[in-house]
Structures are given as C-alpha cells and as structure tokens.
A and B are shown apart, each in its own frame.
Chain A
Amino acid sequence: MQLGIIQDLIALLPMENILPLMLFAPLVAAFIAYILGARGARALTLVVTFVELLLSLVLIIAILPNPGVMWYEWYFTLSTVQFGSWSAILQIYLGVDGISVAMVFLSNLVVFIAALSSNHIDKSKNLYYMFFLMLQTGLLGVFMSLDLISFFIFWELVLIPMFFIIGRWGEEGCEHAAVKFFIYTHLGSAVMLVSFMALFFLGPGTFNMLSIKAAPIAINIQIGFALAVFLGAGVKLPVFPLHNWLPWAHVKAPTPGSVILAGILLKMGGYGFIRLGLWMVPQGFARLSIPFAILAIFTCIYAAFVAMGQTDVKSMVAYTSINHMAWVLLGVAIGGFAIGGGATEGQLFSASLAVQGAVFMMVSHGMISSVMFILAGQLKYSAGSREIPAIRGLMTKAPRMSAVFILAVFAAFGLPGMSGFIAEVLVLFGSVNIYIWSGFIAFGIFVTVGYLLWTLNRIVFSDPDPEKEVTEAPWSDLIAPILMMIPVIILGLWPDLVLNLVMPIVNDMLGVIP
C-alpha cells in the first residue's frame, strides 16, 4: 500500500504515549460525561469514541512495518512489595503487537457503533454514558496489558460497568441476567486470579508476561495454568457448558449492551486464550490441543442446534455467537498442535492459517454480530416483538431494514465476499490438514446456514400479517448497522488488511519461518 507518506507523518508524532492516552482518555471523559448531563454526555461519548477509532487507525498504520514485536511499551508502577529475595512489582504495563492492535481497533469500532446505536437509551443518560466510557477503558486495557496484574485489573473493570448496563438499562428480568452474568464471569476470573498467584510462586516469580513467556516453566505448571485460563477465558468465549450466562445477558441487555457483549466481551475470551495460553504458556497449551478442539467442534454444532430451537431473534443471535466463537477456540487449539513439536512444514503452515483465522474470526464476528444485535433490537421497535412467529412480512413492510438484515444474515453464515467466509475458510483450511476429523465442524456451518435462512423465510419473506403493525426503521437507527457492514465487506474482499497485522506474530508464536 502507498502508506509511506502517512507513516512518515506518524513518525513525527509523539507516539510513545499513545497507549496510555488511548487507555485513559475514555476514563477521564467518563467523569466529565457524568457532570455534563444527558445531552452533553451523548455528544461527548460520540466524539471520544470516534477519536479513539481514529487513534487506533493511526496505531495500525504506525505498527504496520513490523507488527511482530511489542510496540510502545509503557509502564506505571503501583507498588513494590519486597521480602527477602522475593519482590512482587505490581504495575500497569502496556504494549501492543499485531494481534492486540487488531483487537484494539475492533473494540474501538464496536464501541463507536454501540455509542451510535445508544439512541434509544432514555433514562439516566449521563450515568449510562459514564459506564459506557469506563467500559471502553477496561476493554482497551485488557488488549494492551502486558502484565498479569494490570490484565486482571482491566479484565475485572469490564465487569462492573457491564453489570450495571445490563441490570439497569435492560429489559424485564434484566436484574437476574446481570447477576448471572456477574457470577459466571467472576467465578471464571477468580480461578484465573488464583492461577496468576500460583504461577508467581511456582513459576518465575514475576507478573510480567514477557518475562513469563521467556522463562522456563515446568510443564505441569503450564498445563495447570492453561486449564485455569480455560476456565476464565472459556466463560467469556464461551464454551459448552459454561455458556449459559450469554443468552440471558444478551437478550436482557439493552441493544448497545448486547453489541458490546457480543462484539468485544467474547473476544476477551478469545484473546485470553491466545495471549495467556498460546502465547505465554505454549507447551502447556499444546498438551490440551485435542480436548480443546473436540470441545470447540461440539460447542459449535451444539450451539447451532440450540439456536435453531430459539424463538426469540436476539436469543438466536446469541447462540449464533457461541457457535461462531467456537471457531476461535478451534483455531487456537490447532495452533497448540503446531507448538507441541513434531509438526511438518505443511502442518506448521496450516496451524498458522488456523490461528490467523481465529483472530480474523474474532474481528469478523465482532462486526457481524454487532449488526445482527442492532437489528434484532430494532425489531422490537419496528415490529413490536422479537418473537419469530410474531413477525411476518418484513420485506414488504420494511424493505430498508430487511435489506440490511438480509446482508447481515448472509455475512453471519459466511457468504463468500464477506469477512465471515474468509475466517471460516482459514480455520477450516488449517484445521483439516492437522486433525482430519475437525472437518466435522463444517456440519455446524451447514446447520447455521439452515436456521438463518429459515429465520429469514419466516420473518422477512413471509406474507405480511394485516393485523400487525410493522413500521420501517428510521435512518437514524439504520446508520450504525450500515456503517458496520462496510468493513465486513471490505475485509471480505481484502482480508490482508487484518492478516498482514496478524501473520508475523502468529508465525513467530508457532515458530513458522516464513
């Protein structure tokens, strides 16, 4: 690409502090938003999220020359605890490589779109936007952290605003959903926290991820740590049987809440698997490759069938998310195989494809599921209900909205030309070469296509019910999903935009010599 001039310009900027700037700007803005009151809060949120989005683009261009190494490392020491020869340094330690930047960009994109689609929030707006911006800080922090302590702080920071957004601005029954969300995810992270401590004492005696990655750690400890990460990140991803908070939280949350939940919170799980598992304790993770792969395939097909049985559109989309995130786990598990040693060159290459596919799937699913959730939320306003049997003839009554919905469904089941297809193809290419039986996950695609098209048939292409009032969605509600479809199509046609970022670090991780 012709980026030379832009890169030169960016080099002139004081980029060393871009990460803390991006990280703490929303946090500061959150408190200002609370003071500004209802109207100002929304404007401020839109501006801040948009600026963040631009900053993440700058970040991408800046690191593009060499996305395989850590960029812009920055740290702030909270405290140093010393006793004898032991010393524990608790610090906020930031740094980004290609995968992190891809996720940072995704977070900012999804948060911006969610902010756009927050136009139906009408009570305690300033409080809502305060939580919203705090959430953004938490999300960015997770993807930027290079230290287990700061990782955990931000990981937990995400929970609290999300808990309130679900519980306070959600639909009927949202309190239960919020508590359920909190207990599930908190239980997972509690286990993870214990494992962080255990790793500190049993392992290299540091919380710095880069040092841990470099240190030799006994294989049993690695496996134990990987299992704990599996619990923490597996709840977020989610995998069977830890997934039941997800449909509740997604269905009961307000639309922007669902968008953020599906768009990025699930990606924290996938990112956790890659960063804490595959990247940090590769040898331990490699031993778990086969069980993870089996679990992923089972989750994919299981979730597809359960989604088919749903009658609420939002709930169906929620299970579709589970179904798609299973691909991420599969891709990561395949990556584990390659690290385990004894892989031929071709297998290494396939594993690299699969892990790239997993990251691509996170990006792609983050965008597609956002669109799906916004539209599912919109159904409530346009058709008065989200129950599939109650909505009919959307195409006749609301052609504009139907068009976007159809496109989103196509993207969701991976129509070629959209990003979902590339993701599935990459994972499938990679995995089938390594575990031939993992091709069975294609059955999940088959079921997914089936129920998504069936849903289209039932709600979009059916004959309209004259008794029911269905109104067209206004442009103000459609602008967010339409904007979000643009990168879906661009990435479907030009996947290298993401893959170029991801490939070097993945190859480095798996030991592929390109």
Chain B
Amino acid sequence: MLLGLPYWLILVIPLLGSLLVPVVGMFSEKLRDWTPSILMGISMVLCWSLLPEIGHPTQTTHWMWIEVLGLEFEVLLDPLSVIMGILASTLCFLIYVYSTEYMAHEGDRNRFFILMLAFGGGMLTLVLSNNLLIAFIGWEIMGFCSYGLIGFWNDKRNPMETEQNDIDHTNPLLQFETEGQYNTHCGTKAFIVTRIGDAFMLGGILILFVFTGTFSFTEMAADAQHWWATMAGIGMLVPTFLLIFMGAIGKSGQAPLQVWLPEAMAGPTSVSALIHAATMVKAGIYITARFLVTMVSAAGGGHNGGDHISGLQAIGFEAALSFFIFVAIIGGITALMTATMGMVSNELKQILAFSTLSQLGYMMLSLGVGGILQAEGLHFTDAYLSSVMHVISHGAFKALLFLASGGVIHALHTKYITKMGGLKNHMRKTFIVMWIGVLALAGIPPFSGFWSKDSIIEYTYELAAHWTNPLGLVLFFFAILAAACTIFYSLRFMGITFYGPSKQSHDHHESHDTHEEEHSEEHEETQEEHTEEQHHSDPHDPGPAMMVPLYILAAFTIIAFLVFPFVQNIVLEESHTWAENFAHMIEVKITYPGIIPFAITLGALALGGIPGYMMYIKGADTPNTWVPEKGFRRKAHNFLKHRWYINELYYKILNGFLNATDRYRVNVDNKIIDGIDFKSADTGKGLATKLRWFDDNVIDGFAEGVSTYSVAASESSQSAQTGRVNDYVGVIMFGIGILIIVILLSMGVF
C-alpha cells in the first residue's frame, strides 16, 4: 500500500479515530467537525491506492489477533472488496464533508460524529476482511451505529409533523407524542429488523464453519470441492446459504424485511445518505456478491471443464441454482413492490428510501440472475458485474439525491413534498444537481443509472430468452415494470417539489393535498397574501461545504459511462483496452440481440415517464385530480399508501405478541418465576450473612482467640512474679524437693 503502510490502517483509522472525536472536541469544535472528514479522507486515499494491488498484494495481508483462540485478521484484496472499499470510503468522505455544514447548528455533535465515523469504519471492516467472523463484527458495528444515528434526534420535544394525507394508525405501537419518540422508535425498528436477519445469518455462518472449518473466504473457495459436496450431499447447502442470505435481506431491506428502511429517514439527512448510498444497505449486496464469487470460484474449474463432476457436486450445482433462484425472486419482488410504494409517498426522503429499496432489489435480482446464468451454464458469465456497476452508480446518485434533498429540507423545515413547491427559482443549483440525480435514478441515457440498470435488465432478458424455466420471463417483466414505476415517482417528486406554485409558508395552514382541488386553491390564495410579510428569507442554496460534494457526485453521475469500462476491467480482471470496452458497451445497446431489451426498456420509460411528465411537471400548476375520492384508483392508491399493509401487519402481530407476553408476565412470571428468584436471592443473602458471621467469629475468632488466650495466660502467670524473695525461695525449695524425689525414684531407691 501507499508508503508501505500496513493494510489494516484503512479500517483502524476510522474505527479508532471515532474515539478521538470527543477528545478533539475538547479543544476545537470546528476541528472536531472536520475530524471524520480528515480521517476518512486518509482512509479513502489508502483505499484508492489499493487499486493497482488487486490480486497481488505487495505486503503481508495477514495478522494474528488472538493467537490462543486462533483468531486472525486478513485483508482481502480482490476486485469486489477493493471497489466496495473505494466506493464506501469515497462516499463516506463526501458525506462527512457535507455533514460539517449540515449539522453545524445541531447539539451533541460529538455523538453524531463518533457514530458516523465508526459507521464508515464498520463498512470498511466488512468489505476488506477476508474473515467471515470479522466481517460480521463490521456488520454489527454498522447495525449499532445505524441505531444510534437514525434515532439521533431522540430528544425532540415537539409533536410530530403531520400532513393531511397521512394514514391514521390505530395500533398503539404507532402512536407517538413527540418527534423524539418517533425518531427513537425508528432507530430501534431499524436495529431490530436488521437483527432478525443477523440472527439467521450468524446461525448460517456457524453452520458453514462447522462444514468448512474456516472463516476465511479464500480458504473456503480453495477448499470448495470438499465441503461443497459434503454439504450438498446432506442437503445443508441451500438452508445454510439461505440463512446467511437472511442477513443480507435484513440489511439490504429486501422483501419481506423491507419495512425498516422507509422509517430510517427519521435521522439527519447525511445519515440517510450514509445508510443508503455508501454503507449499510450495500452490505447485504456485498455479502451476497461475496458468496456468489466464492461459489462461482468453487464451481469454477469443475463445472466449466464439465467432465469431472462427481454426483454430489452435481447436487451442489442444483442447490446453488435453487439458492440463486430464490435470490432473484426476492430481488425482483422487492424491486417492483417498493417502486410501487414510492409512487404515492409524500415524504421527500421516504420516496428516496423506496427508490433505494427498489434499486437494491435490482442489484439482488442481478446477483440472482448472474448466479442462475452461471449455474445453468448459459454462457452469459459475469452478470454480477452489472450489480457491482449498479452499486457504484446507485451509490453516487443516491448520495447526490439525499444530500440535495437534505438541502431542501434544511431550507424549508418540512419533510413533506406536499408542503414544498416552486423551488426551482429559489434553489437553482440544488435544482440542477437534483435533476441529474433523478435522471440517473430513472435510467435515462447517458447518466450513470442507465448503463448499470439497463445492463441488469439486459441480463434478465438473456435469462428470459435462454432459460427453459418461465420464471425468467416473470423476472424480466418485474424489472421492466419497476423501471416504469421508477421514472414515474422520480418525475412526481421533482414536479411537486420544484415546479408549480410555491407552497412554503411559516404559518399553520392546512397543507396541500395532491388530489383535493378546493384545498389547494384556498391554499394558494392565502399563500400569496403571506408571501411578502412572512417570508423572512427565501429558501436558498446551501453553502460550499454542502454544495461541493454535490458537484462532485453530479459530475461523476454524468461521466460515469467513461469510467465504467475501467471498472469492468477491474471486476472481471480482464485486460481489454478502455476503448474496446467502451465500444462494446455502446454496441450491445444498438445491435441485435441487445437492442431488444433496450427498446423494451425505452418503452417502459415512456410508459412511466409520459404520464409522470404530464401530471407533475407540465401540469404542475394545475391540481392533480387523477385519484378520485372513491373507486378502484382510490383503493389502489390506499393499498400502496399503506405500503401493501405489510408494515402494519407486522405491527399488529407484534402488538398481539406483546399483549400475550404481558398476560404471561402478570399471571405466570410475576407470581411463580419471580417468586422463586426472590426466594433464592433472599436465601443467598441469608447464607452470606451467616457465612460472614462464621468467618468473623469462627475462622477469625479462632486465630484471635489463640492470641487472646495466650496473652491472658501470660498475664495471669504474672501474679506468680510477686517480687518477694521468700516466695521465690519457697518455690525453689519445692522444686528441688520434687527433683530429688524424681532422681531417687529413677534410681530405684523406693
């Protein structure tokens, strides 16, 4: 690495540096705010310097941590790790820079920056570790930090911001008095839901360890012929991988554990950006991709050679196939389902959250498809490349979108898009970068999202076209439909936020509703009256520390297509020239058979984009009446608004469970179990008192007694010392007499 430094510095700098943050804070507030950026900047430079060392590290990658327990740390320098490391550290760095301004006026920034920096460190630990167990530690560091950061504003006393279109929840678990309570709840929810996945994952890791005897990815891959066949033979392969995949489902918010991510928006915006773009949700993708790589290399020689596969190995390939089918289905469902949810949400960041979920679904879909293609031997290898591309492009444009929307929320003090509007004149720069992000999200050429997403769709098409199983068609259909939904909600929130009349006001008017005409008209009138007197300052673009990261991300989003050929070379470890890759990239889109999925995608974009444009951008000034009060459209709208009722179902189950446990506590635990506990504690205390008495009086008493009695004996013998010569002489005479008698006796006189 750079300057011959040891590799572990990359993750140790942010992890230990996070402890340094409050120390720096004692000296300088300003420097403290910049500490995470500086430290992560160093890590970032180190990460970039790994690029030429992929596959052939120049120093040792291996350190013993606790020798007796055989726990060691090893850095993994394969393309996937390094690219993820570069992505994570770079985005973290930009987000930390952004945070210095964004959080400048918040209290308790020590806690914020400690957790932020540790979060980045956790992600780097995960992606760079070659040891599954240590990767899991990084995974859990992220879980904890997300909990602390999502609930960061736990102390807010103001009531929750509401919006007329909100759903009324009847469940007692969903009633919050203050915003602080809500924020805490969201943090806890994120933690618990991901923990559900983690619990399964840990089980999977341990089972895997039982069979492989190692936590190391590379050793697993090298020794694959052995454990692969054994596990497949007793049918453990699929269950184990599914358990590990459960962790990825939880972290990456895949169905059915997607419920935590939309609520995770309660934290500061930079946290959302960190979670969505750089770290947490990408962790699940990374782990799945890691296993794909491991399995592919495990399958590697044997399968492609084709002639020396044992029977058990064949079973193993069957197992791998069913695992990847599962992954693909989960990804496809998530991509579509969450995209539909995003179409009706009214919270700016929540829409972005749904879009994240949907894009994550794409990535999973691509991994699954890649796996299926590989396992079926359909000669479209390396489909996971498109997933990696999408991770990169999504990381950049989603960070861009979040950070930009953070600026909007910062300026307007509301999280609902329905209370925004007409911002394009006030926040010109934000408006432009936001458009760039949205176009990338929607997959419009030539922005970054297009290349990666379209490549996923392409592979799905290949699967649909070549795989005998009709499931391929279904997945393709899902992917296309999700793309249509994506462009629709992208245009929708852009339209409502930036176009149309300005709705921002500082009084407590009934907020605007997207589908109620009267309301909006009233609102607009009052709005105009208040414009002069109540707008102390117009919403304006944020300052340079917030804008510069945005420009960098926007620039990347635009020129990504120039970068992707490099990425392809790195990921696939090929040595084509840049121009070859680039030409191929373009060529695939415009020649047969690549043009078919491309055309279909364009059709889908039109399908979603045209109504979206008509309704929200062209028609931004006229109120939207597309969803009537009643009827099918309203029902569909409600169904989506309630997020398919999945979230609420969980809460209902949870509430029922809590009630049942409460009954158990009152009836059984308090009376019987607690009774036993208290009795035994009392017994313990009683025993302790008795033993103390025993120790003080018997053990110590014996020793003290010996000394007391010997002192007493010596004292009582003092009375013999009378000092009178007569007494002494008497005693001496008596003694001599006794001696004489004894002598005589012994001489046998008597």
Contact = CB atoms under 8 A, between A and B. Distances in A.
Interface of A: 180, 183-184, 240-241, 243-244, 302, 305-310, 353, 356, 426, 447, 450-451, 494-496, 499-500, 503
Contact of B691 (A243, A244, A306, A503): A306
A470 B67 CA distance: 46
B600 interface: no
A244 B65 CA distance: 41
Contact of A244 (B681, B692, B699): B699
B599 interface: no
A493 to B, nearest CB: 9
B72 to A, nearest CB: 12
Interface string B45-86: 000000000000000000011111000000000000000000
A144 to B, nearest CB: 27
Contact of A308 (B65, B67, B685, B707): B685
Contacts of B64: 496
B649 interface: no
Contact of A496 (B68, B689, B691): B68
A450 B684 contact: yes
A496 B699 contact: no
- Count chain A CB atoms within 10 A of each CB in B65, B695, B700 and give the residue with the most: B695
Contacts of B681: 450
Nearest to A183: B707
A306 B688 contact: yes
Contacts of A353: 68
Given A305-B691, A306-B695, A495 B66 contact: yes
Given A306-B695, A353-B68, A496-B66, 13 more contacts: A183-B707, A240-B699, A241-B699, A244-B699, A244-B703, A305-B692, A306-B691, A309-B688, A309-B693, A310-B692, A450-B684, A496-B64, A503-B68
Contacts of B687: 305
Name the residue in A244, A309, A310 with the highest tally of chain B Cβ atoms < 10 Å from its Cβ.
Answer: A309
Nearest to A450: B684
Contacts of A426: 68
B5 to A, nearest CB: 11
Among B681, B684, B690, find the residue whose CB has the most chain A CB atoms closer than 10 A. B684
A309 B691 contact: yes
Across the A-B interface, the 5 shortest Cβ-Cβ residue pairs: A309-B692, A308-B688, A309-B688, A244-B700, A305-B691
Given A244-B700, A308-B684, A496 B692 contact: no
A451 B64 CA distance: 37
Nearest to A184: B703
Interface in B665-709: 681, 684-685, 687-693, 695, 699-700, 703, 707
A308 B64 CA distance: 40
Interface in B514-551: none
Interface residues of B, number: 20
Contacts of B699: 240-241, 243-244
B692 A306 contact: yes
B133 to A, nearest CB: 15
B67 A499 contact: yes
Given A241-B699, A244-B699, A305 B688 contact: yes
Contacts of A306: 688, 691-692, 695
Nearest to A447: B684
12 contacts: A180-B703, A183-B707, A302-B691, A305-B691, A308-B685, A309-B688, A426-B68, A447-B684, A494-B65, A496-B66, A496-B67, A499-B68
Given A241-B699, A306-B695, A451 B688 contact: yes
A426 B69 CA distance: 10
Given A241-B699, A306-B695, A500 B688 contact: no
Interface string B555-571: 00000000000000000
B144 to A, nearest CB: 14
B179 to A, nearest CB: 28
Nearest to B686: A309
A310 B430 CA distance: 67
Q: Give the interface centre of B67, B68, B684 by most chain A CB atoms within 10 Å.
A: B68
Nearest to A357: B68
A458 B65 CA distance: 39
Contacts of A496: 64, 66-68
Contacts of A244: 695, 699-700, 703
B637 to A, nearest CB: 51
A494 B66 CA distance: 7
Contacts of B68: 353, 356, 426, 495-496, 499, 503
Contacts of A503: 68
A309 B67 contact: no
Contacts of A180: 703
Interface string B379-398: 00000000000000000000
Nearest to A240: B699
A180 B704 CA distance: 9
Q: Which of A184, A306, A426, A500 has most chain B Cβ within 10 Å?
A: A306
Nearest to B694: A306
A310 B692 CA distance: 7
Interface string B165-196: 00000000000000000000000000000000
Given A244-B699, A244-B700, A305-B687, A500 B692 contact: no
A440 to B, nearest CB: 16
A306 B67 CA distance: 37
B8 to A, nearest CB: 12
Contacts of B693: 309
B60 to A, nearest CB: 12
A241 B684 CA distance: 21
Nearest to B701: A244
A310 B700 CA distance: 15
B212 to A, nearest CB: 23
Interface in B105-153: none
A452 to B, nearest CB: 13
A266 B681 CA distance: 31
A426 B691 CA distance: 29
A381 to B, nearest CB: 26
A302 B694 CA distance: 11
Contacts of A495: 66, 68
A177 B467 CA distance: 88
A312 to B, nearest CB: 11
Nearest to B706: A183
Nearest to A307: B688
B36 to A, nearest CB: 23
Contacts of B65: 494
Contacts of A450: 681, 684
A508 B703 CA distance: 40
A307 B695 CA distance: 10
A180 B701 CA distance: 12
A241 B691 CA distance: 13
A503 B691 CA distance: 38
Nearest to A302: B691
B706 to A, nearest CB: 10
Contacts of B695: 244, 306
Contacts of A309: 685, 688-693
A353 B707 CA distance: 42
Contacts of B684: 305, 308, 447, 450
Contacts of A241: 699
B67 A500 contact: yes
A123 B64 CA distance: 51
A119 B689 CA distance: 35
Nearest to B67: A496
Nearest to A248: B700
Nearest to A2: B6
A309 B684 CA distance: 9
Contacts of B66: 494-496
A244 B695 CA distance: 8
Nearest to B692: A309
A510 B637 CA distance: 76
A496 to B, nearest CB: 5
A496 B689 CA distance: 40
Contacts of A184: 703
